[in-house]
């Protein structure tokens, strides 16, 4: 018995009955926004290929990112449903791991290693140089979408540091001059 | 074209590594230049893409098979190639880049390569090459032994976990072997995220069957039928080579439903990590393989009893598994004969940072840091004096010159508040600011902490702030005291090594380089019970 509950008058409830209102919030991945048919056509086969695997979520997210370049929030509900997870769990995994992107990267991705071995050979200066050369801050994509600059932790080239990765290509013993050269070749200098 | 060089009709075998570090130094462009150059000169070349010998300052290292042995040229750029060919490189001709017979180069000749004996010698994915170089000998012997004998052999070899914790592999295997379950797993931790380490990457790219063989022996020993190799996403070449090697080994009957006709089943699968450093911690790795955020689990239960998907699981690092085949091929006593004290066998040390001759040095435990830095490494690349050496990755201590003559074994390093870890050695010259590096260690921990336990999650952020206050000189002595207390809390209160070892680099920097923190050396050198 809850004494403070308002009494009803002639059987009419004072409190409006609960009505299910679909959420329309813009939290990434939270909305029921369905995948566009073109996106679904790309993602659904990947879901089908991975859903029965043990611990399927990471391999599936890798497959999606490999196909699309990132993991768009719109695919989260479908993945969650297929793997019997909540959308929050899938979003939680995507946001936990540095490797997964929710937004598309620039057309080129420049990664500068700033782990200790590379620091010992001037990685911090190299990263500052890269920011200046590309006209792009660390962790950001330039406004024209041409390039994303990311500091990373260890590319495994610690004996030939500083190391840089440009798209899929590793480069050892990087210098500002060579970085400029690479930037020129890819036409991504600021 | 030099007419003195007669056109070669029998193809000469030329080796150009396809290891990531060689590719990063431009090995593919050298291959193109060699192919073009040979075609122009009507020279016949049989190209082999081997793995790296681990002498990275010489990469791309081109080797030519001659009757006297393989002759090394390096570092070769595409522009060097015409000159090299004209100098008779295919006959081992003299050139300024020639280093003589590869195996006689002191850096290699002075090593004790057991695990890395095939590295750079063979074509990584060639099953026949592997078999011709002692491959599968360990597994062939292992299939004739029962579980108890297999576990005994590993225990007797003295092999300890090479990932950093140095836990005896045999004891771990015995626990899993004794657990009763219909499904057991073998998981290889290949999330080699430590700066200054690359021996796992080299193994997976350069000798993948060795890892497969070691994991298969582990599976036979504990009765596991399924295994995973969890490889970091920053190593796409390693992922590709391992996946291909597993496919080939399965097709050839070394893996699969009937391992070498033993009737035992063992399947292996590669799982790609996703850039979380803490997933190198074994329980966080299990969470990740199961498809969740890589959050550390409290222990107990031990993964050996309730590991992957709740089942008994052997988890070892790449080099631990990779050391197993030779133990079975040549016997536990052979392996045990290397090393000192309770550190048996060899450790692949990895020289990195500001070092002239950076690369992989496999030696028995017991050599000194000084021998590595100057004997093998040749001092700094920059020519400046060495100031500090971080041993064992980002969570390892900075070792000052006064400790460079301590023999490198697990116990000796633990006694001085340091850790050998995974054998990574990062050299810093006198340009290094140790306070900045200490701050970086805290910053790295704050970035990579999984967030489960408070000392690591909050302590690392507070650590950055405290160091910042020390550096601007606000209540400096008081803040130093606070930093020490914070480190004590992290050291003893963290759930795993992420928060528990971040104090190693911080305190060692503070203790050995107080002047970088704006402190007078005499007052700051107060002995610390944890990290004297």
Distance from CA of A113 to the nearest CA of B (A): 10
CB contacts of A92 in chain B (<8 Å) are 293
What is the distance between the alpha carbons of residues A179 and A134, in angstroms, rounded to a whole number? 10
pLDDT in the model for residue A35? 87
Chain A contact probe: residue of B57, B77, B192, B196 with most A CBs at under 10 A: B196
- Closest residue, chain B, to A156 (C-alpha): B198
What is the distance between the alpha carbons of residues A179 and B189, in angstroms, rounded to a whole number? 34
Alpha-carbon distances of A172 from B57, B132, B431, B454, rounded to whole Å? 10, 33, 21, 38
CB contacts of B354 in chain A (<8 Å) are 120-121
Distance from CA of A190 to the nearest CA of B (A): 25
**A99 and B293 in contact by Cβ < 8 A?**
no
For the record, the structure tokens of B418 come out as 């340091």
- Closest residue, chain B, to A57 (C-alpha): B291
The CATH code that applies to domain B344-429 is 3.10.20.600
Q: CATH homologous superfamily for B127-336? A: NADH-ubiquinone oxidoreductase 51kDa subunit (3.40.50.11540)
Q: How confident is the model at residue A19 (pLDDT cuts 50, 70, 90)?
A: low
Q: What is the DSSP string of A5-67?
A: SPPPBTTB-SSPPP---------TTTS-PPPPHHHHHHHHHHHHHHTTSTT-HHHHHHHHHHH
Q: Is 1.10.10.10 the CATH number for B434-524?
A: no
A180 in the same domain as A115: yes
Q: Which of B234, B271, B437 sits opposite A154 (nearest CB)?
A: B234
Q: What is the pLDDT of residues B182-204, one digit of tens each?
A: 999 999 999 998 889 999 999 99
**A153 and B358 in contact by Cβ < 8 A?**
no
**B292 and A57 in contact by Cβ < 8 A?**
yes
- Structural class in CATH, domain B12-109: alpha beta
B120-131 burial, b at 16+ Cβ within 10 Å, e below that, comes to bbbbbbbbebbe
A44 in the same domain as A84: yes
Q: What is the pLDDT of residues B293-314, one digit of tens each?
A: 999 999 999 999 999 999 999 9
pLDDT in the model for residue A72? 95
Q: Which of A92, A99, A172 sits opposite B25 (nearest CB)?
A: A172
CB contacts of B236 in chain A (<8 Å) are 168
Location of structure tokens 């990112």: A65
Q: Does residue A15 fall inside a structural domain?
A: no
Q: Are the CB atoms for A117 and B196 separated by under 8 Å?
A: yes
Q: What is the pLDDT of residues B438-459, one digit of tens each?
A: 999 999 999 999 999 999 999 9
Average pLDDT, chain B: 95
Q: Does residue A13 fall inside a structural domain?
A: no
Average pLDDT, chain A: 88
Q: How confident is the model at residue B73 (pLDDT cuts 50, 70, 90)?
A: very high
Q: Are the CB atoms for B221 and B151 separated by under 8 Å?
A: yes
Q: Pick the last residue of a domain from A53, A74, A96.
A: A96
Q: Which of B86, B26, B34, B36 shows the shortest CA–CA distance to B59?
A: B26
B114's CB contacts (< 8 A; 6+ apart) are B323, B326, B335, B338, B345, B346, B362
A161 in the same domain as A126: yes
**B56 and A172 in contact by Cβ < 8 A?**
yes
CB contacts of A105 in chain B (<8 Å) are none
Q: What is the pLDDT of residues B252-261, one digit of tens each?
A: 999 999 999 9
The count of CB pairs under 8 A between chains A and B is 146
CB contacts of B358 in chain A (<8 Å) are 158-160
Confidence check: pLDDT of B1 > 80:
no
A150 in the same domain as A172: yes
A180 in the same domain as A112: yes
Confidence check: pLDDT of A157 > 80:
yes
Q: What is the DSSP string of B374-391?
A: IIIT-S-SSSSPEEEEEE
CB atoms within 10 A of CB B234: 25
Q: Does residue A17 fall inside a structural domain?
A: no
**B271 and A58 in contact by Cβ < 8 A?**
yes
**A99 and B274 in contact by Cβ < 8 A?**
yes
What is the distance between the alpha carbons of residues B70 and B86, in angstroms, rounded to a whole number? 19
A92 in the same domain as A41: yes
Q: Which of B57, B196, B277 sits opposite A158 (nearest CB)?
A: B196
Residues in chain A: 190
Q: Which of B277, B382, B437 sits opposite A153 (nearest CB)?
A: B277
Q: What is the pLDDT of residues B78-115, one digit of tens each?
A: 999 999 999 999 999 999 999 999 999 999 999 999 99
Q: Which of B234, B352, B394 sits opposite A152 (nearest CB)?
A: B234
**B352 and A99 in contact by Cβ < 8 A?**
no
Backbone angles phi, psi at A147, to 5 degrees: -150, 145
For chain B, the structural domain boundaries read 12-109, 127-336, 344-429, 434-524
pLDDT in the model for residue A43? 97
pLDDT in the model for residue B403? 97
**A98 and B274 in contact by Cβ < 8 A?**
yes
Q: What Rg, from alpha-carbon coordinates, does chain A have?
A: 24
The mean pLDDT of B15-39, rounded to a whole number, is: 97
Q: What is the pLDDT of residues B366-388, one digit of tens each?
A: 999 999 999 999 999 999 999 99
Q: Does residue A31 fall inside a structural domain?
A: no
pLDDT in the model for residue A1? 40
For the record, the structure tokens of B31 come out as 């291959």
- Closest residue, chain A, to B431 (C-alpha): A120
A56 in the same domain as A118: no
User: How many structural domains is chain A composed of?
Assistant: 2
CB contacts of B310 in chain A (<8 Å) are none
Cα torsion angle, B23, B25, B27, B30, sign? positive
Location of structure tokens 């040549």: B330
Q: What Rg, from alpha-carbon coordinates, does chain B have?
A: 24
pLDDT in the model for residue B193? 87
Distance from CA of B358 to the nearest CA of A (A): 5
Find the domain containing A121 and state its range: 108-186
**B25 and A120 in contact by Cβ < 8 A?**
no
Q: How confident is the model at residue B9 (pLDDT cuts 50, 70, 90)?
A: confident
**A96 and B294 in contact by Cβ < 8 A?**
yes
**A160 and B358 in contact by Cβ < 8 A?**
yes
Q: What is the pTM of this model?
A: 0.92
* Partners of A169 in the β-ladder: A166
Confidence check: pLDDT of A14 > 70:
no
CB contacts of B360 in chain A (<8 Å) are 159
Distance from CA of B355 to the nearest CA of A (A): 8
- Closest residue, chain B, to A155 (C-alpha): B234
Q: Which of A57, A83, A120 sits opposite B354 (nearest CB)?
A: A120
Here the ipTM equals 0.93
Q: Helix (H, G, I), strand (E, B), or coil: what is residue B55?
A: strand
The mean pLDDT of B24-34, rounded to a whole number, is: 97
Distance from CA of B409 to the nearest CA of A (A): 22
CB contacts of A115 in chain B (<8 Å) are 195-196, 394
**A153 and B192 in contact by Cβ < 8 A?**
no
CB contacts of B56 in chain A (<8 Å) are 157, 159-160, 172
What is the distance between the alpha carbons of residues B196 and B499, in angstroms, rounded to a whole number? 19
Q: Pick the last residue of a domain from A66, A96, A126.
A: A96
What is the distance between the alpha carbons of residues B212 and B227, in angstroms, rounded to a whole number? 10
Q: Are the CB atoms for A187 and A147 separated by under 8 Å?
A: no
Phi/psi class of residue B449: alpha, beta or left (left: φ > 0; alpha: ψ in -120 to 50)? beta
pLDDT in the model for residue B356? 97
Half-sphere exposure of B471 (CA within 13 A, CB side): 14
Domain with residue A122: its CATH number is 3.40.30.10
Distance from CA of A21 to the nearest CA of B (A): 30
Confidence check: pLDDT of B52 > 90:
yes
CB contacts of A154 in chain B (<8 Å) are 193-195, 197, 234
Confidence check: pLDDT of B224 > 80:
yes
Q: Which of B233, B274, B353 sits opposite A120 (nearest CB)?
A: B353
Q: What is the pLDDT of residues B138-175, one digit of tens each?
A: 999 999 999 999 999 999 999 999 998 899 999 999 99
CB contacts of B201 in chain A (<8 Å) are 156
Q: What is the pLDDT of residues B409-424, one digit of tens each?
A: 999 999 999 999 999 9
Q: How confident is the model at residue B474 (pLDDT cuts 50, 70, 90)?
A: confident
Q: Does residue A18 fall inside a structural domain?
A: no
% of residues, chain B, pLDDT over 90:
95
**A153 and B352 in contact by Cβ < 8 A?**
no
What is the distance between the alpha carbons of residues B259 and B267, in angstroms, rounded to a whole number? 9
The mean pLDDT of A36-61, rounded to a whole number, is: 96
Helices (H), B223-331: 236-251, 282-289, 318-330
**A98 and B234 in contact by Cβ < 8 A?**
no
% of residues, chain B, pLDDT over 70:
96
């Amino acid at each position: 018995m809850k004494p403070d509950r308002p009494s009803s008058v002639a059987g009419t409830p004072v409190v409006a009955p609960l009505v299910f209102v679909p959420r329309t919030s813009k939290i990434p991945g939270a909305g029921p926004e369905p995948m566009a048919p073109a996106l679904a056509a790309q993602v659904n086969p990947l879901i089908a290929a991975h859903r029965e695997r043990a611990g399927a979520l990471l391999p599936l997210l890798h497959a999606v990112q490999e196909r699309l370049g990132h993991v768009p929030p719109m695919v989260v509900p479908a993945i969650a449903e297929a793997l019997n997870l909540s959308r929050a769990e899938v979003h939680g995994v995507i946001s936990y791991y540095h490797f997964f992107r929710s937004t598309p990267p620039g057309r080129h991705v420049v990664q500068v290693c700033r782990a200790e071995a590379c620091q010992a050979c001037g990685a911090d200066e190299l990263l500052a140089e890269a920011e200046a050369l590309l006209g792009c801050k660390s962790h950001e994509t330039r406004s024209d979408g041409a390039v994303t600059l990311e500091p990373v932790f260890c590319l495994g080239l610690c004996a030939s540091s500083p190391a840089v990765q440009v798209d899929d290509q590793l480069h050892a013993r990087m210098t500002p001059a060579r970085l400029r050269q690479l930037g020129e070749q890819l036409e991504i200098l600021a | 074209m030099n007419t003195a060089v007669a056109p070669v009709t029998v193809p000469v075998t030329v080796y150009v590594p396809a290891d990531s570090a060689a590719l990063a130094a431009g090995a593919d462009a050298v291959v193109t230049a060699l192919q073009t150059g040979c075609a122009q000169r009507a020279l016949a070349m049989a190209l082999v893409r081997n793995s790296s010998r681990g002498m990275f300052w010489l990469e791309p290292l081109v080797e030519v098979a001659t009757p006297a042995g393989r002759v090394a040229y390096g570092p070769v750029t595409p522009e060097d190639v015409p000159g090299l060919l004209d100098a008779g490189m295919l006959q081992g001709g003299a050139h300024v880049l020639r280093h003589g017979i590869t195996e006689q180069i002191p850096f290699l000749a002075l090593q004790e390569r057991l695990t890395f004996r095939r590295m750079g010698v063979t074509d990584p994915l060639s099953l026949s090459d592997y078999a011709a170089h002692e491959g599968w000998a360990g597994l062939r012997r292992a299939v004739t032994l029962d579980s108890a004998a297999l576990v005994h052999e590993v225990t007797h070899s003295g092999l300890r976990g090479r990932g950093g914790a140095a836990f005896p592999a045999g004891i771990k295997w015995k626990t899993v072997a004794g657990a009763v379950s219909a499904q057991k797993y073998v998981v290889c931790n290949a999330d080699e995220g430590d700066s200054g380490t690359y021996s796992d990457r080299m193994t997976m790219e350069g000798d993948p069957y060795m890892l497969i063989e070691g994991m298969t022996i582990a599976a036979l020993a504990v009765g596991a039928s399924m295994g995973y190799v969890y490889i970091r996403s920053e190593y796409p070449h390693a992922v590709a080579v391992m996946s291909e090697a597993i496919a080939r080994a399965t097709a050839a009957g070394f893996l699969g439903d009937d391992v070498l006709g033993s009737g035992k089943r063992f399947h292996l699968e590669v799982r790609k990590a996703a850039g979380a450093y803490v997933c190198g911690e074994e329980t966080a790795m299990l969470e990740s393989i199961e498809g969740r955020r890589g959050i550390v689990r409290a222990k107990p239960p031990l993964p050996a009893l309730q590991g992957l998907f709740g089942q008994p699981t052997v988890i070892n690092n790449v080099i631990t598994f990779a050391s197993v085949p030779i133990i079975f091929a040549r016997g536990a006593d052979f392996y045990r004969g290397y090393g000192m004290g309770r550190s048996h066998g060899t450790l692949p040390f990895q020289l990195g940072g500001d070092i002239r001759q950076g690369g992989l040095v496999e030696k028995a435990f017991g050599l000194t840091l000084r021998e590595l830095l100057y004997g093998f490494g040749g001092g700094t690349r920059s020519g400046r004096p060495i100031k500090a050496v971080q041993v064992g990755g980002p969570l390892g201590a900075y070792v000052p010159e006064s400790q460079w003559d301590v023999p490198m074994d697990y116990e000796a390093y633990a006694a001085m508040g340091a850790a050998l870890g995974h054998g990574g050695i990062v050299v810093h010259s006198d340009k290094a600011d140790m306070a900045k590096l200490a701050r970086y260690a805290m910053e790295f921990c704050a970035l990579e902490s999984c967030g489960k336990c408070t000392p690591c999650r909050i302590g690392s952020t507070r650590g950055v702030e405290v160091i910042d206050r020390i550096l601007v000189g606000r209540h400096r002595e008081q803040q130093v005291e606070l930093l020490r207390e914070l480190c004590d809390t992290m050291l003893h209160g963290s759930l795993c090594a992420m928060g528990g070892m971040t104090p190693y680099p911080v305190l060692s920097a503070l203790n050995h380089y107080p002047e970088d923190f704006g402190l007078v050396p005499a007052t700051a050198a107060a002995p610390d019970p944890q990290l004297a």
